[in-house]
Amino acid sequence: DVKVTQSSRYLVKRTGEKVFLECVQDMDHENMFWYRQDPGLGLRLIYFSYDVKMKEKGDIPEGYSVSREKKERFSLILESASTNQTSMYLCASSSSGQETQYFGPGTRLLVL
């Protein structure tokens, strides 16, 4: 079975802190994605990556950056956390040509 893991289920940070959210997949997938999910707004794509060291902006990249140094790991970075970044963050991966995305369990981030 495909497994996508995220480093934390719950995270509490203070405004201005640098936050790292880690995502690891064990199926050698080329594609990886970071979404945030908010009530009434649904899932919105922040960044995605089709290959190691490659990244593309999604629909709401402002305030975020990403890193993909290894194929299995895709990190989301909040350089200076703000309260409006309180959200549920979901990571996903897929294999090129397979199309189905596999999601991690999510990280619920609270920024105080």
Partner 1 sequence: KQEVTQIPAALSVPEGENLVLNCSFTDSAIYNLQWFRQDPGKGLTSLLLIQSSQREQTSGRLNASLDKSSGRSTLYIAASQPGDSATYLCAVDKTSYDKVIFGPGTSLSVIP
Which residues contact partner 1 by CB under 8 A?
A: 4, 31, 33, 35, 40-43, 45, 48, 50, 58, 90, 92, 94, 96-97, 99-106, 108
Kindly state the smallest distance separating residue 64's Cβ from partner 1, in Å: 16
Q: How far apart are CA 76 and CA 28, in angstroms?
A: 19
Cβ neighbours of residue 97 closer than 8 Å, sequence gap 6 or more? none
The CB density around residue 102, as the number of other CB atoms within 10 Å, is 17
Q: Which of 48, 74 has the CB closer to partner 1?
A: 48
Return the number of the residue (19 or 46) whose C-beta is nearest partner 1: 46
